[in-house]
Amino acid sequence: MLPNLISKFMRPFSSMTMGVTPIGSAIGNLPANTEKATIAAGCFWGVEHIYRKHFENKGLLDARVGYIGGDTNNPSYRLVCRGDTGHAEALQVLYDPEKVSYETLIEFFFRMHDPTTPDRQGPDVGSQYRSAIFYHSPEQESTAKKIITAAQKEWFKGQNIATEVIPAGQWWDAEDYHQLYLNNNPGGYECPSQ
């Protein structure tokens, strides 16, 4: 019993990589029109869980949690949690734009977290929990900015949206045990957004 309890507390701080499978490789042939979206909205466990739950069978093809927006190569969870790397905990999704639009994914992003709190979501505090949209094309950048303007006017009157819209740089998959974390550990985390 005691070793299991200790491993539950220590596992989230492990820096081992454990053979991460690249995004999309688990589903075989992806549609030719597959597109990618990358967002950060607090703890990546909850963000992944909510997106998978909401967009299952609605155009979401695959999703991975990882790190983006920093300046350290091959960052580990431990380094990112210390706040020394500049990375955000993020979600990267592959989607079929014939079934779900980028606009729909980004509108949902603003409904599932609080974009007005810089470097914070619920009890999670630090730059790794910032709100950000990492765009992969000029069209994604334009769409994200358009949605921010609309969200500011319609949903967040009197509050400033702190969401950054920045080019997607190097993506680093998080360690395997972070992938599908809340599916595998349903009592392991209370996500404020759920």
Give per-residue pLDDT as tens, 49-89. 999 999 999 999 999 999 999 999 999 999 999 988 999 99
C-alpha distance from residue 178 to each of 49, 79, 89, 168 (Å): 11, 15, 11, 21
pLDDT value at residue 185: 84
Neighbours of 165 (CB within 10 A): 17
Q: For residue range 135-180, what is the model confidence (pLDDT) as tens digits? A: 999 999 999 999 999 999 999 998 999 999 999 999 999 999 899 8
What is the identity of the amino acid at 72?
Answer: T
The structure tokens listed for 73 are 């190569």
Give the residue among 115, 117, 118, 149 at the shortest CA–CA distance from 39: 115
Say if residues 60 and 34 touch (Cβ distance below 8 Å). Answer: no
pLDDT at 186 over 50: yes
Neighbours of 85 (CB within 10 A): 20
pLDDT at 18 over 80: no
43 is catalytic: yes
Say if residues 89 and 43 touch (Cβ distance below 8 Å). Answer: yes
Q: What's the number of CA atoms in the CB half-sphere (13 Å) around residue 77?
A: 20
**Which of 43, 60, 65, 105 does the annotation list as catalytic?**
43
Decide which of 35 and 83 is more confident. Answer: 35
Predicted TM-score (pTM) of this structure: 0.84
